[in-house]
Amino acid sequence: MDFLAELRRRSVFRVTAAYLVAAWVVMQVVGFVADASTMPEWATTFVLILVIAGLPIVIVVAWAFEITPEGPKLTGPRGEDERIKPFRPADAILVAALVAVICVVVWQQLAPRDVQYVAAEVEQDAGPEAASIAVLAFDDLSPEGNQEYFSDGISEELLNVLVRVDGLRVASRTSAFSFKGSDASIPEIASDLNVRHVVEGSVRRAGDTIRITAQLIDSESDGHMWSETYDRELTASNIFAVQDEIATAIVAELRARLGGILPEVEIDVTAATDSLDAFELYWRAWELYLDRRDLGEVERLLAQVVDLDPEYAEAWELRGATHMLAGVQYGGIPGTRDELLAMAREYNDIALALDPDSSLAIASNANLSVDVLANPDAAMLAQAIEDLTRAIELDPHNVSALNWRGGEYLRVGYDQLAIQDYLACIELEPLSAACQGSLINTYSTMGEYQLAYDRLIESLEQGVAYVGASPVSLAILGKRDLFLVTVAQDYPDNPPWGTPDVFYEILRNPEGDWDHLIPAFEAQWDNNIAYRYLGPIIGAYPSEFPDGWYAFYDHEYAEYRRSPEYQAQLQASSLPEFWRAYGFPPQCRERDDGWIECE
């Protein structure tokens, strides 16, 4: 009690309370200034350290010194008749201020916060990144108006150059080109694409000359930052040279306006071909390839391209990818499946001989090496994933490689990695039906039927009509009309065991009496519907699955995965060897007796 009385006599309590209140006020001011200026983050931390370090100093000084009319003096021992200073109104105000500060600090720390809401609000207020841009499809101003493929090709070549500039985010080709013919304003387009800057232009071919006009627009002001018109003799080398000049000018202007956000880069556009005719034919083929339309015509055009310029690496890699798609899914090119896939590899190898860093050829070969096999070994699976990863590193915008790697991740049970690749693909190309469909089917495979349906509806609203939506999700959620449309388009030939209506009823009522269909099912194991979707429901499984990977992961096969038959099938595959080398997926684990349990 004597010590506490001495602290009161020396005004240690008063000084400490006053210091704490003043320190809180100082920190609030510093925090406000930091938020409203470009003060570095460490400055606030530095002030806080000074405030904390000052507290013991203030306490010691208050104990040792007292303020007198003659100035500060050392505090002497208490006299026998000396009285402790009474509690004054100023002390009451100081105590009230200290209590208020303590209450505010406690409330700030304990008050509930909606972090997600705050983050979303900040992101919305922030707007698009300053270093972001979209390249719109250049208008075709040719007299005949029949050179759209040519102007699109020039636009896309320019986009491909800008994509390689570090720090510059470029909107996807399909997103930007979707505004072709639109009467939307530049600010509206930029807002939809979430970019700050937009490049638009036009191409006019007339005889042996070409005029290319390009403009860089700031969407915030809707003002032109830069524009230029290039009149050149119509040659392939001049087209690539103009792309170099446009890209260099755009990046230089952005660097100057954005205060050095973008690094200083040297843009060097290498002419892919010296043949103007080859360039034109390539871009005609490219337009068809992107839409997966008439692959036979794509092959006919590309055959002409490589006749004109046998060293046109991009044409060879596109020819390889076209044959692979025709062989495994789309058809349209004469030849058997094996013949088409053999030609695909041959053309990819030619592309790689011309350009060892051909991302599309590397990805296509990786996909060929495993996707066409029922049971590739563990080393082949690992090599395919490694090659697809290299293809993505060479070209982060290679959406085909992202989609194919997602498929290989799913094949080995790494479903979350697969979803990441599909989402990355969709972020780059929101209108990619392949990646949208892969994501929908993956969600359904995992039993996330509502997610699969929501993604399907979202893609349809974006104009992506993915026919192969998982029928299981649609049936389980009771979306009968959409289910019937999907099945009718994706499986036009009804199997002998029933119509789409029967298919729907089986999925909706798996506990029903369907044993009478088993003989028909067993005769139809080459039908995807039979073994993938309906076999698990009626408990009919083939001794060898046409594509055994479904049995390893599909949600519908959970019961089958508890059987010795499944275990035998799994052990006969390359998955156990792959998992032991590279890690088991979260849904699978190996027991001491070697049995592998998968949920």
pLDDT digits (tens, 9 = 90+) for 123-168: 334 457 888 888 998 998 887 767 787 888 888 888 888 887 888 8
- What is the rounded CA–CA span in Å between residue 11 and residue 488? 89
Residue 82, both tokens: 């000396």
Residues 6+ positions from 38 with CB-CB distance below 8 Å = none
Q: Name the nearest CA neighbour of 197 among 174, 215, 172.
A: 215
Looking at residue 419, what is its pLDDT?
Answer: 92
Alpha-carbon Rg for the chain, nearest whole angstrom, is: 35
CB 463 within 8 A of CB 431: yes
Nearest to 15 by CA among 125, 113, 91: 91
Instruction: Decide if 432 contacts 403 (C-beta within 8 A).
Output: yes
Per the listing, tokens 């208020």 go with: 100
> Which of the four pLDDT bands, split at 50, 70 and 90, describes residue 506?
confident
Which residues make Cβ contacts (< 8 Å) with residue 12, sequence separation at least 6? 59, 62, 63
**What dotted CATH number matches 132-271?**
3.40.50.10070
pLDDT for residue 420: 93
pLDDT of residue 390: 95
For residues 234-256, give the mean pLDDT: 85
Neighbour-count burial for 448-469, b at 16+ CB within 10 Å, e otherwise:
bbebbbebbeebeeeebebeeb
Mean pLDDT of 172-177: 80
CA distance 282 to 280: 5
Q: How confident is the model at residue 307 (pLDDT cuts 50, 70, 90)?
A: very high
Who wins on pLDDT, 531 or 449? 449
- Which residues fall within 8 angstroms of residue 233, CB to CB, at 6 or more apart? 208, 209, 210
**Mean pLDDT for all residues in the chain:** 79
Is 50 exceeded by the pLDDT of residue 114? no
pLDDT of residue 383: 92
Residue type at position 176: A
Give residue limits of the domains in the chain.
2-112, 132-271, 491-599
pLDDT in the model for residue 405: 93
Supply 434's token pair: 């392949």
* Per-residue pLDDT at 119 exceeds 60: no
Cβ proximity of 152 and 137 under 8 Å: yes
Quote the CA–CA distance of 342 and 157 in Å, as a whole number.
Answer: 30
